Structures are given as C-alpha cells and as structure tokens.
Amino acid sequence: MEAPNTTAGGKLLPCAMDDACSILDCDAIMDDYADALLSTSEGEEFLAHYCGMQYLQRPVSNKGDDG
C-alpha cells in the first residue's frame, strides 16, 4: 500500500519515520490555553480525549480579574 499525498504534494510518512511529528504536551497546553479550553464544551472534550479527565479538574486562572 502506497502512502497518501499531503496537501502540499509530498508523501505522508508515519510518525516513526518523521522527526517533525510533535508529541502533545498537555501540561503546556493547560499553561497556555486552559482558560479558553475549559470555557467551551469542545475544549473540555478535547482535553478529556487527548489528555485525560484529570485535566478537567484543574482550576482555571483568573488572569485580569482584579475584582
């Protein structure tokens, strides 16, 4: 079976053969995007699926809320 072409026209390689494949870093995602992800049901589903249910229990920061 031949590898499919990417939208750029190259062959799609499995991650085992491609150094460019990135690994999902759930801690970094939570550090940078927790407020946005946890404020939508799609974001919560993403976290639960790719990172695990424990990430849904993390507190959302109150950046900019000076009260």
pTM, to two decimals: 0.50
**pLDDT value of residue 34:** 87
Which residue ranges make up each domain of the chain? 22-57
Q: What is the CA radius of gyration of the chain?
A: 17
Is the CA virtual torsion 44, 59, 62, 24 positive or negative?
negative
Cα 29 to Cα 52: distance, rounded to the nearest angstrom = 13
pLDDT at 61: 55
| Maximum Cα interatomic distance, the chain, rounded to a whole number of Å | 60
Give the number of residues written for the chain.
67
Q: Is the pLDDT of residue 1 over 60?
A: no
Q: Tens digits of per-residue pLDDT, 27-62? A: 888 888 888 888 888 988 988 888 888 888 866 555
